[in-house]
Amino acid sequence: MPIIDYLEMNSDKYGDEIALIERNPEQKENRRVTWKEYSLIQPTPDAPYRRQITWSVFDEKANRVANMLLSRDVKRGDKVGILMMNCLEWLPIYFGILKSGAIAVPFNFRYSADEIQYCADLAEVDVLIFGPQFIGRVESIADKLSERRLLIYVGENCPTFAESYHELVADCSSQRPGIDISDSDDAAIYFSSGTTGFPKAILHNHESLMHAAIVEQKHHGQTHDDVFLCIPPLYHTGAKMHWFGSLVSGSAAVLLKGTSPEHIFDAVSAEGATIVWLLVPWAQDILDALDRGDLKLSDYRLSQWRLMHIGAQPVPPSLIRRWKQYFPDHQYDTNYGLSESIGPGCVHLGVENIHKVGAIGVPGYGWECRIVDEFGEDVPRGREGELLVKGPGVMTCYYRNPEATAECIKDGWLYTGDVAMQDEDGFIFLVDRKKDVIVSGGENLYPVQIEDFLRKHDKINDVAVIGLPDKRLGEIAGAIISIKEGMECTVEEIEEFCLELPRYKRPKKIIFADVPRNPTGKIEKPKLRKMYGEEHLVAVETME
């Protein structure tokens, strides 16, 4: 069953109930909305900007988008890009693309103009739908983009090089277009994080999307009464696939713009959120604010909040122990996934397994996992190897890249590139990214293990460990450390703290600086290696 069927069922069953809420704490004033079907909540002077739509309006909006695309000769299999910040229009546009039989292609909102051009060419995008934040970037490449593409602008004051989205959909039918969609039809292209260079285009079919939705609902038990708070960007599988659980249960979701602890608690309290997915930095910020007294639990309505879950990166066990001190009744789960496996859920801890915090968990619903050596043979439990996953959510291919596809998918198994280990109880622990392993004097160092140790230091807010070039050892471990606000720390303090580590695992270089993370919370290690690796090599060569 294609995932668009869930939207239509929710419209038929829960038509007058709230589906989506957009909440923007940074914007206080009202603004004109051209979609008359929106239910617009008028904000008070001190309240955040807020909009909402019902399930029936959601479905109608998606139908208008589909019929608009069909009227502009968009055909089955054509690609429609989405370059927008999180907003109330995002998901109706995504589902409208799917309803038309076209392929949805979400773009990372951080892409430069050159990266937008590269990804549009790679995915052979026929239509690009973009928001006001991207006018400058799109305008700079508009001549190249518009050679064979339709440019559609979502917002007021449409630029001259594009067509107005609101005007285009206003005259289109809100009736379902009736395009026959099957599970095997191509549905979406997502882009890899580009950790090995330029992004790759990841193609998924409708079966993949549907499996992601079922997995999310099975893992976290969303009911019709739940309210999901969605903060990460919708272009990423991690955010959208978690929201898919709300789609399956027909329950409401809040799209929050803002990641400060106060914004998150305000949204949980005001909207009655029961499920919140946090990235590690946001959870740490909340705990630090509670520790300082800047945030007080008694100021908010939080008793309905039942589940906090984290994904996108390894989760320090110390963070969860701190979290449970403030929220002893919260369920907790962590999810592991890749865009190639339609986001989170191919491995998950499970709310019943908090005693195994630190593990990424066990194979998710409908998934299989293996850990293998360099020859593709299963390793015994307790030994490290590469994690493989298999299930209905594995990508169809890297679009237009058969060589990379063949390297990544073998006999139906997706080679994740992650080093993992399975304990005697069958729980999988993520050791590190295969490409991030540091080989120092013949020893393999796993940065995640060193990072987990350093995060126990009470002055460290965030940390990234990378390999730095070394003439003698090949590489050494360098730690980029962000100190908590208002605190001071010295290299000597960190070195003394690290005496508890085996000598070969101790960082040989300490750098106090910010730790950059992408919108999904992953540490941008390629950027750090470029920043500090070259600098360190120059310093080493100068000393010789």
pLDDT of the chain, 544 residues: tens digit per residue: 899 999 999 999 999 999 999 999 876 544 433 333 333 444 444 567 899 999 999 999 999 999 999 999 999 999 999 999 999 999 999 999 999 999 999 999 988 898 899 999 999 999 999 999 999 999 999 998 877 789 999 999 999 999 999 999 999 999 999 999 999 999 999 998 654 457 899 999 999 999 999 999 999 999 999 999 999 899 988 889 999 999 999 999 999 998 899 999 999 999 999 999 998 878 988 999 999 999 999 999 999 999 998 876 667 788 899 999 999 999 999 988 889 999 888 999 999 999 998 899 999 999 999 999 989 999 999 999 999 999 999 999 999 999 999 999 999 999 998 889 999 999 999 887 777 878 786 677 878 889 989 988 999 999 999 999 887 677 899 999 999 988 999 999 999 999 998 888 899 999 999 998 876 677 888 788 888 876 554 444 444 4
> How high is the pLDDT of residue 196?
44
* CA distance linking residue 74 with residue 242, whole number of Å: 29
Name which of 187, 192, 229 is nearest 210 in CA terms. Answer: 187
- Helix axis angle, 4-14 relative to 90-99, nearest 10°? 120
| Strand ranges inside 6-86, DSSP E | 18-24, 39-41, 49-54, 79-83
DSSP-based three-state secondary structure for 238: helix
For domain 438-543, is the CATH number 3.30.300.30? Answer: yes
> How high is the pLDDT of residue 68?
98
> How high is the pLDDT of residue 524?
83
Please give the class, per CATH, of domain 4-220. Answer: alpha beta
Contact, 421 vs 382, CB < 8 A? yes
DSSP-based three-state secondary structure for 133: helix
> How high is the pLDDT of residue 540?
43
The amino acid that residue 418 corresponds to is: D
Name which of 463, 445, 444 is nearest 454 in CA terms. Answer: 463
Name which of 236, 430, 425 is nearest 347 in CA terms. Answer: 430
* CA distance linking residue 76 with residue 102, whole number of Å: 5
Dihedral over alpha carbons 335, 338, 341, 344 (to 10 degrees) = 20
- The boundaries of every CATH 3.30.300.30 domain in the chain are 438-543
Contact, 247 vs 5, CB < 8 A? no
> How high is the pLDDT of residue 197?
54
> How high is the pLDDT of residue 386?
94
Burial 172-210 (b: 16+ CB within 10 A, else e): beeebbeeebebebbbbbbbbbbeeeebbbbbbbbbbbb
Q: Is the dihedral of CA 436, 440, 444, 447 positive or negative?
A: negative
> How high is the pLDDT of residue 436?
80
CB atoms within 10 A of CB 349: 27
* CA distance linking residue 1 with residue 183, whole number of Å: 6
Pair of tokens at residue 37? 């079907």
Dihedral over alpha carbons 364, 345, 89, 232 (to 10 degrees) = 150
Residue 190 contacts by C-beta under 8 Å, 6 or more apart in sequence?
Answer: 106, 201, 202, 204, 236, 237, 339
pTM of the model: 0.83
> How high is the pLDDT of residue 438?
87
- The boundaries of every CATH 3.40.50.12780 domain in the chain are 4-220
